[in-house]
Amino acid sequence: MKRVLGNGLIVTMNQNREVFYGSVLIKDEVIERVIKHDPFENLKDLKNGIGEFDELIDCTGQLILPGLIQTHTHLTQTLFKGLGDDLQLMDWLQTKIWPSEAAHTAETNYISSKVGIGELLKGGTTTIVNMESVNHTESSFEALKEMGIRAISGKCMMDYNEGVPKGLIESLEVSLSESERLLKKWHQTHNGLIEYALAPRFVVSCSDELLKASVKMSRTYGVRLHTHASENKGEIAIVRRRTGMENIDYLKRIGFLGKHVILAHCIHLNDLEVQHLIDSETVIAHCPSSNMKLASGFAPVHAMLQRGAKVTLGADGSPCNNELNIFMEMRMAALIHKGNQLDSTIMNAKSVFEMATIKAAEALGKESEIGSVVEGKHADLITLRIDKLESMMVPLNAENVYAQIVYNASSRDVCHTLVNGALLVTHGQLVNVSEADLYLDAKKAIINFIKDPK
Ligand SMILES: [Zn+2]
């Protein structure tokens, strides 16, 4: 199958960050050619210049971009959007999120995942690093497989802490054996689109033994580790009391840092902790909307980037955001640090767009596969409308196009989304799923949930 995304402005994110008018020829799962040409008035002229293909998607008036990458989500929480707004983190977790996660059935978790993935794909996100709940992770993997997004996902692990509902606490043995079972079943499946990541929730809710065993298992199977770290001052105080160490120092001590580790948030860090993250090449998932909504604080993102840290972006879960919208996260990442540091020159639009594309791909060790519009890479691509009344009117070029994307565009401007060459969103609508049916299923699930909390 050969498909052409034709006649758009291509923001390649290749090594030279080239931006030019042209077309992208996709053969099956791969970008076969990226063709530079002047914009065509008449698409018939385009057809003559490109050879044989099966389908032409007209991208006139659109940007052609690499699919966007989010390194921290919780699909299991999508249905809980609106259940707990304007609360403190521990209150929010203990009274709203954990009881809701504990009440999930396989069916409601499946629906929650599907709705979340639908929102992500419609908003141009093609790769996620996702943390599930403790139970029913299998159903989320089924949803990932069906929907076709690229995902690194895993079951949440918790074996320690007061305040966690019974239904979410497992013994060390059960947590590890279920994680291992899921890992063996799902890692590197579905054409390589699905990978497993071991996901202890955070130090506060995990025993030392669980965290150390996760490190060991990740080495045994060569899978990633994904957790939360240093999101909240209360959290790091608990870790200090328990371990006598700062959170990142503790993680370093037990071997829980490295290229294969993704830490969400990393807000409250001292200088040495930042250095540990940089030295170990640990991936940081910055979640600016969540950090603002839960009043967690300002992660030292600009300083960390300046020092060479691998900082990427994520929406976190729906209830602390309340969107899964990478355009919003890019805008927030660009704006909040300017305001916080009274410096409008930091976190420029281009560097923020890199965080959601090629830099995220590099951080995940996938730069030869995704993150830019380059021949030979997987065809994870999106197109974005720039022909609306709300769009920037000045002609776009390699300098100002990033401002259009980061400061002006919204997820609702995404027109087409392809993952691994499969067209999953066209003209803003999911291709393989009835959105109306899924909406009704989700409404029913959450209404039963509220009526009948377990
Ligand atoms: Zn999170």
pLDDT in tens, 135-173: 999 999 999 999 999 999 999 999 997 678 888 999 999
What is the CA(2)–ligand 1 centre distance, in A? 39
- For 258, the 3-state DSSP assignment is coil
Q: In this structure, which residues have their CB less than 5 angstroms from ion ligand 1? A: 316
What is the CA(299)–ligand 1 centre distance, in A? 15
What is the CA(423)–ligand 1 centre distance, in A? 29
Tokens found for residue 85: 């707004």
What is the CA(300)–ligand 1 centre distance, in A? 18
Q: pLDDT confidence of 224, banded at 50, 70, 90?
A: very high
Cα distance between residue 370 and residue 421, in whole Å: 12
What is the CA(51)–ligand 1 centre distance, in A? 47
What is the CA(218)–ligand 1 centre distance, in A? 20
Range 149-179 burial, b when 16+ CB lie within 10 A, else e: bbbbbbbbbbbbbeebbebbbbeeeebbebb
Query: Quick count: other Cβ atoms within 10 Å of Cβ 441?
Result: 17
Compute the Cα dihedral for 442, 443, 448, 449 and give only its sign: positive
What is the CA(72)–ligand 1 centre distance, in A? 6
**Single-letter residue type at 450:** I
User: Mean of the pLDDT values across residues 217-223?
Assistant: 98
Cα distance between residue 356 and residue 338, in whole Å: 18
The CA dihedral of 112, 113, 118, 124, to the nearest 10 degrees, is: 130
List the beta bridge partners of residue 26.
3, 31
Cα distance between residue 366 and residue 357, in whole Å: 11
Cα distance between residue 392 and residue 338, in whole Å: 22
Cα distance between residue 395 and residue 404, in whole Å: 11
List the beta bridge partners of residue 10.
20, 64
What is the CA(125)–ligand 1 centre distance, in A? 17
- The DSSP secondary structure of 277-331, one letter per residue, reads HHHHT-EEEE-HHHHHHTT-----HHHHHHTT-EEEE--EEGGGTS---HHHHHH
What is the end-to-end Cα distance of the chain in Å, rounded? Answer: 48
**Mean model confidence pLDDT for the chain:** 95
What is the CA(101)–ligand 1 centre distance, in A? 13
The architecture of the domain spanning 68-363 is: Alpha-Beta Barrel (3.20)
pLDDT value at residue 451 = 67
Helix (H) or strand (E) holding 246: none
What is the CA(264)–ligand 1 centre distance, in A? 7
pLDDT value at residue 452 = 58
What is the CA(69)–ligand 1 centre distance, in A? 16
What is the CA(323)–ligand 1 centre distance, in A? 13
What is the CA(285)–ligand 1 centre distance, in A? 9
The model's pTM is 0.97
What is the CA(73)–ligand 1 centre distance, in A? 6
What is the CA(96)–ligand 1 centre distance, in A? 14
Q: Of 304, 257, 250, 312, give the one whose Cα is nearest residue 287.
A: 312
What is the bridge-based pairing of β-strands 194-200 and 150-154?
A: parallel
Q: pLDDT confidence of 91, banded at 50, 70, 90?
A: confident
- Is residue 189 over pLDDT 90? yes
What is the CA(291)–ligand 1 centre distance, in A? 10
User: Mean of the pLDDT values across residues 280-292?
Assistant: 98
What is the CA(198)–ligand 1 centre distance, in A? 14
What is the CA(133)–ligand 1 centre distance, in A? 11
Cα distance between residue 453 and residue 310, in whole Å: 40
Helix (H) or strand (E) holding 200: strand 194-200
Q: Hey, where are the domains in the chain?
A: 2-66+380-430, 68-363
Cα distance between residue 310 and residue 288, in whole Å: 16
Counting DSSP H helices and E strands in the chain, the numbers are 17, 19
Tokens found for residue 48: 């003559």
What is the CA(9)–ligand 1 centre distance, in A? 35
What is the CA(235)–ligand 1 centre distance, in A? 14
Cα distance between residue 37 and residue 385, in whole Å: 19
Residues 13 and 66 sit within 8 Å (Cβ to Cβ): yes
Compute the Cα dihedral for 293, 410, 344, 16 and give only its sign: positive
Cα distance between residue 63 and residue 408, in whole Å: 13
What is the CA(43)–ligand 1 centre distance, in A? 45
List the beta bridge partners of residue 3.
26, 55
The architecture of the domain spanning 2-66+380-430 is: Roll (2.30)
pLDDT value at residue 406 = 98
What is the CA(152)–ligand 1 centre distance, in A? 14
With a CB cutoff of 8 Å and minimum separation 6, the contacts of 399 are none
What is the CA(97)–ligand 1 centre distance, in A? 11
- For 257, the 3-state DSSP assignment is coil
What is the CA(225)–ligand 1 centre distance, in A? 14
Give per-residue pLDDT as tens, 309-343.
Answer: 999 999 999 999 999 999 999 999 999 999 999 99
Residues 134 and 157 sit within 8 Å (Cβ to Cβ): yes
- Is residue 454 over pLDDT 70? no
What is the CA(318)–ligand 1 centre distance, in A? 10
Give per-residue pLDDT as tens, 93-114.
Answer: 888 888 899 999 999 999 999 9
What is the CA(383)–ligand 1 centre distance, in A? 28
